[in-house]
Amino acid sequence: MTVSPRRPIEFNYAVAFACHNQVDYTRKYVDSLVTHGIDLTRCVAVDNASTDETRAYLKTLNLGACILNRANLGCGVAWNQGARALQAEWTVVMNNDVLVSANWLENLLLTANRAGLKIISPSLIEGPLDYDWDRFSNEASAKMHDALRLGEAHAICMAVHESIWHDIGYFQPVPKLRGFEDTLFFHQVDKARLPIGRTGSSWLHHFGSMTLKYMRQQRGLSEKGNLGDRKSKRLLRLSWLGRKLQKARKRRRSRLWRKAELARYGMTMHGVRDGGQFTWN
């Protein structure tokens, strides 16, 4: 089954992404946007002081805006800069180490509007690109078109309605958080009881947080090392026990979703590619 891409001209949208080196992944990402009908004049790139060819490459693109920071100011600052530079009803905040698929944005926003959601994320395959991505994404989006996880979204890619900025504000602009910004943001979303979700109708391939891995290597940390300030968790205003209980609830909910999706579709919204096989989380 082949799905022809449609231009999302009926939506008032902007796409914001941050960069810090890793120019090869940025090229693949932008190429996939163009292939699947995204207007680059609706895109904002924020470069956090790259030292490779990233800036030269970004300058060749007909972007809506390109912001060049003098230092690595972190995800929160970059996301805020992107969202404010090109304001729209929907701002898609996403990583630059992903590939999009046919009708990914249309399916995201149509689902959000139909379900009354204010934040929505796509399904993901993570790992090496050693399979037919176009064929897989077409088939997966058709098979899981009606699948929806209410109450879950992720910062690898999320479409954020403009009302969110008014209800809870933007991301915490603190460079030392280094990746904890999304946790704080979703915590505020949860406290405000705002409707969010994740859809099986839209899919991305995620190579695997390449910028964060690069930053860990720069700092001599292990692959799972903590980049941010260890005191950042205090900003959640939750006790140690409260954080543990919150994580336990999320894990329990994820297990229920996984069981239900496997039973109905034979797959889930989160796949990991390993050894030429899919593992479903």
At 251 the pLDDT is 86
**Does 8 score more than 50 pLDDT?**
no
pLDDT digits (tens, 9 = 90+) for 40-65: 999 999 999 999 999 999 999 999 99
Distance of CA 105 to the CA centre of its chain: 12
The whole-angstrom separation of Cα 57 and Cα 52 is: 10
Do the bridges between strand 148-150 and strand 277-280 make them parallel or antiparallel, or are there none, so unpaired? unpaired
Query: What values do phi and psi take at 209, rounded to 5?
Result: 50, 55
- The residues pairing with 48 across neighbouring beta strands, listed in sequence order, are 69
At 237 the pLDDT is 67
Distance of CA 24 to the CA centre of its chain: 18
Polymer length of the chain = 281
Using a 10 angstrom Cβ sphere, with 0-12 exposed, 13-18 middle and 19 or more buried, the burial of residue 204 is buried
In the structure, what pLDDT confidence band is assigned to residue 151 with cuts at 50, 70 and 90?
very high
At 111 the pLDDT is 97
pLDDT digits (tens, 9 = 90+) for 61-79: 999 999 999 999 988 999 9
- Tokens matching residue 240: 């140690």
Please count the CA atoms within 13 angstroms of the CA of 191 that sit on its side-chain side. 12
Instruction: Name the residue ranges covered by the structural domains of the chain.
Output: 13-228
Find the helix packing angle between 181-191 and 74-85, rounded to 10°.
Answer: 60
The whole-angstrom separation of Cα 73 and Cα 177 is: 10
In the structure, what pLDDT confidence band is assigned to residue 192 with cuts at 50, 70 and 90?
very high
pLDDT digits (tens, 9 = 90+) for 15-42: 999 999 999 999 999 999 999 999 999 9
Q: Distances from the Cα of 220 to the Cαs of 51, 73, 105, 210, 214, in angstroms?
A: 18, 19, 37, 15, 10
What CATH code is assigned to 13-228?
3.90.550.10
Distance of CA 160 to the CA centre of its chain: 11
3-state secondary structure the chain: CCCCCCCCCCCCEEEEEEECCCHHHHHHHHHHHHHCCCCHHHEEEEEECCCCCHHHHHCCCCCCEEEEECCCCHHHHHHHHHHHHCCCCEEEEECCCEECCCCHHHHHHHHHHHHCCCEEEEEEEECCCCCCHHHHHHHHHHHCCCCEEECCCCCCEEEEEHHHHHHCCCCCCCHHHCCCHHHHHHHHHHHCCCCEEEEEEEEEEECCCHHHHHHHHHCCCCCCCCCCCHHHHHHHCCCHHHHHHHHHHHHHHHHHHHHHHHHHHCCCCEEEEECCEEEEC
Average pLDDT over residues 119-127: 97
Query: What values do phi and psi take at 193, rounded to 5?
Result: 55, 45
pLDDT digits (tens, 9 = 90+) for 212-268: 444 434 444 345 545 445 566 666 665 666 667 767 788 888 899 999 999 999 999
Q: Which of 136, 131, 149, 63 is nearest to 101 (CA)?
A: 136
Record the pTM.
0.86
Q: Distances from the Cα of 1 to the Cαs of 37, 44, 87, 102, in angstroms?
A: 19, 33, 36, 12
